[in-house]
Amino acid sequence: MEKNNLRKKRRESLWKHPYKKSRFQKMTPMILILLFGSMAMKVVIAEMPISEGWKEIHHSSIVVDMHNDTMMKVVDSHTWLPVVDIGKESPEGFQLDLHKAQQGGLNVAFYAAYTADQRDVDDVVARTNSRSLALINALYWTVEQNQDNMTLARNTQEIEAGLAEGKHVAVASLEGMYQFGGENSKELLRQYHDLGIRAAGLVWNSPNRLGAGANVANNEENAGLTEAGREIISEMNRLGILVDVSHMNEKTFFDTLEITQVPVIASHSGVDGVRPHVRNLSDEQLLQLKENGGVVSINFWRTALANPGSSATVKHIVDHIDYAVNLIGIDHVGLGSDFDGATMPKDLPDASYLPSITKELASRGYHQEEIKKIVGGNNQRVLKEAEKFAENQVRHPWLQPPRLRVVPDVQMGEIVYDTKPTLSAKIMDSGDGAGNFFQYSIIVNGVVYQPSYHPDTGHISYQVERDLLGKGHTERDGNFHVVTFLAKNPIGLEVRETVIIYVL
């Protein structure tokens, strides 16, 4: 009862808009112009509303969208191979493509590899792994098709470099980690990190071996973060992968924030105080997220914005932003559209309409620096904090990596016409024979194998013994696998090259 009264008071305080009122109170004494002449004019102009300059503010900001499902539409639904190029002007039915991103001033977007399944058996683990890899492969393919306009970034330095070149910057993320929880989870996570995954949600709406999802009907009683989930979060922190708490049930959410050492993100969630919904965060969750230093990125899914969802508009998006800012502050709110994974508000049908959010924020009295934080700055901050924590975990940061290259004999996304292929890579040292002193591994879907080393050719190789298609496989399950070629010198420094292959 006390919690309900607390929520009621917070809702009442929101709809009085104390945050907006305080801004406009600063602007209203324009009568001072009449009393104090030109000196007062300078003061008042500095605090006049910015609603007329919203376009310039939007396009001078670094706009970051923390979640979309666009790669789901890029792949063929039968083979899961990429077939639609979003660099071509406005592919039919897409809410996000490169043309719309440019129109909407969308600089950085997190492209999710989505999977979900509540059946925890080996074939489903293999299938979800394949489907995640299919969507990551589709992102690599998309970037390859659009090298002049798009780049894939693995850290904030690469994000900044891409922005400096005027490119749309893609960051890879996971939505649902249903392939994790087994003995090979940490090594598999390292492979996904190699591929560029920099944010990951442990669950979708259904539970798995890591935790429980937002759909409580599918969960066991008191289900929360599992021991396997705790180990994965620890490894994500170490690697610099942001933990995404969207789609978690409340217990998994609070368990996660209790153990993570790095700020988390809610990549695409709303606030329960505006629209009660299982996918929205309660006041208690938001306050805990603030304590953690994290960011809630407001979802554009119309059903989670308003009731009925068909009535949802940009104003509802900003209502959620307003509520969160009032409760937890300007430094903890961002944007997470869910483009191509949800039905949008009627006046924001696709990414080209993103400036309308900035316009609405400006009309409510948000200042330029505050808008810049909401549309991208806050999420840039948590990315940097995750990177910094990971850098501090490096055992010997002053040591240079080995002067050795590992060149796989297969390329990213290559089709391999053998269900038990021989996997190989060329080891290229500096000519001093250092390669003879390295330890080598070939890792397939998180499982480590010891390859043969052929000093005469400088190759390592391993023939897969287990059929990579697996028992009961169908083509619709996908045939994707992740392979890492690893060289480690005597003091433990590594060179890794990781690719995705498609097996037929």
Using CA atoms, how far residue 129 sits from 188, 192, 245, 338, in Å, is 10, 10, 20, 22
Question: Which tokens is 346 given?
Answer: 């009627």
Query: Which residues fall within 8 angstroms of residue 262, CB to CB, at 6 or more apart?
Result: 237, 242, 243, 382, 385, 386, 389
Q: Are residues 178 and 100 in the same domain?
A: yes
Q: Give 463's DSSP letter.
A: E
Establish if 397 belongs to a structural domain. no
CB 170 within 8 A of CB 151: yes
Residue 282 belongs to domain spanning: 51-390
pLDDT band at 97 (very low <50, low <70, confident <90, very high): very high
Residue-level pLDDT at 116? 84
Q: Looking at the predicted structure, is the pLDDT value of residue 15 above 60?
A: no
- Between 50 and 306, residue with greater pLDDT: 306
Do 231 and 277 share a domain, yes or no?
Answer: yes
Looking at the domain assignment, is residue 62 inside a domain? yes
Label residues 361-390 b or e (16+ Cβ within 10 Å = b). Answer: bbebbbbbebbbbbbbbbbbbbbebbbebb
Pair 61, 42 in one domain: no
pLDDT of res. 474: 59
Under the banding of pLDDT at 50, 70 and 90, the label for residue 312 is very high
pLDDT-based confidence at residue 429 (cuts at 50, 70, 90): confident
pLDDT at res. 416: 95
* Final residue in a domain of this structure, among 46, 62, 82: 46
User: How far apart, in whole angstroms, are the C-alpha atoms of residue 14 and residue 22?
Assistant: 13
Cα angle value 49/109/373 (rounded, 5°): 30
Based on the fold, state whether residues 42 and 72 are members of the same structural domain: no
Angstrom distance (rounded) from CA 213 to CA 203: 6
For 193-214, how does the pLDDT look when each residue is reduced to its tens digit (9 = 90+)? Answer: 999 999 999 999 989 999 999 9
Instruction: Tell me: cis bond preceding 408? Omega within 30 of 0 counts.
Output: no
What is the rounded CA–CA span in Å between residue 318 and residue 305? 10
pLDDT of residue 425: 98
Same-domain pairing of 327 and 414? no
Phi first, then psi: what are they for 493, rounded to 5°?
Answer: -80, 140
Split at pLDDT 50, 70, 90, the class of 403 is: confident
Quick check: is 395 in a domain?
no
Predicted confidence band at 436 (pLDDT cuts at 50, 70, 90)? confident
Sorting pLDDT into bands at 50, 70 and 90, what band is 472? low
pLDDT over 70, % of the chain: 84
Q: Is the pLDDT of residue 47 over 90?
A: no
- Is residue 398 a part of any domain in this protein? no
CATH number, position 206: 3.20.20.140
Mean pLDDT rounded to a whole number for the chain: 88
Q: Is the pLDDT of residue 22 over 60?
A: no
Q: How far apart are CA 191 and CA 172, in angstroms?
A: 13
| 370 and 319, same domain (yes or no) | yes
Same domain, yes or no, for 324 and 356?
Answer: yes
Q: What is the distance, to the nearest Å, from the Cα of residue 438 to the centroid of all Cα atoms in its chain?
A: 35
CA angle 234–211–67, rounded 5-degree value: 80
- In a domain? residue 234: yes
Query: Do 285 and 353 share a structural domain?
Result: yes
Residues 368 and 261 grouped into a single domain: yes
Q: Provide the β-strand partners of residue 64.
A: 108
Mean pLDDT calculated for residue range 282-297: 99
Q: Can you name the residues that pair with 477 across neighbouring β-strands?
A: none
Which residues lie across from 374 on neighbouring strands? none
Residue type for 455, please?
Answer: P
pLDDT on residue 392: 93
- In angstroms, the CA 199 to CA 66 distance is 9
Distance CA 143, CA 109 (A): 13
Instruction: Please name which of 258, 247, 142 lies closest in space to residue 199, comparing C-alpha atoms.
Output: 247
Average pLDDT over residues 425-451: 87
Percent of the chain at pLDDT above 90?
75
First to last CA, the chain: 59
Is pLDDT of 410 > 60? yes
Q: Which residues pair with 333 in a beta bridge?
A: 296
Measured distance CA(278)–CA(281) in Å, rounded? 8
- Residue 303: CB atoms within 10 Å: 17
Give the mean model confidence (pLDDT) for residues 154-167. Answer: 98
- Nearest residue to 482 via CA among 403, 383, 416, 392: 416
173 or 489, which is more confident:
173
Q: What is the pLDDT of residues 225-259, one digit of tens each?
A: 999 999 999 999 999 999 999 999 999 999 999 99
* Average pLDDT of the residues in 251-270: 98
Identify whether 318 is part of a domain: yes
Q: How many structural domains is the chain composed of? A: 3
Residues 152 and 189 in one domain: yes
Asked whether residue 399 is domain-assigned, the answer is: no
Question: Is 272 in contact with 265 (CB distance < 8 Å)?
Answer: no
- pLDDT above 60: residue 40: no
What pLDDT, on the 0 to 100 scale, is given for residue 18?
35
Beta-strand relationship, 480-488 and 494-503? antiparallel
Better pLDDT: 430 or 382: 382
Q: Categorize the per-residue pLDDT at 220 as very low, low, confident or very high, splitting at 50, 70 and 90.
A: confident
Does 81 score more than 80 pLDDT? yes
Beta strand pairing call for 333-336 and 168-175 = unpaired
Q: Are residues 241 and 308 in the same domain?
A: yes
Picking from 360, 390, 420, the residue at the C-terminal end of a domain is 390
* CATH code, domain carrying 430: 2.60.40.1220
pLDDT of 50 reads: 53
Bigger pLDDT: 107 vs 469? 107
429 CB neighbour count, 10 Å cutoff: 17
**Which residue among 361, 390, 419 closes a domain?**
390
Are residue 328 and residue 216 in the same domain, yes or no? yes
396 falls within a domain: no
pLDDT band at 33 (very low <50, low <70, confident <90, very high): very low
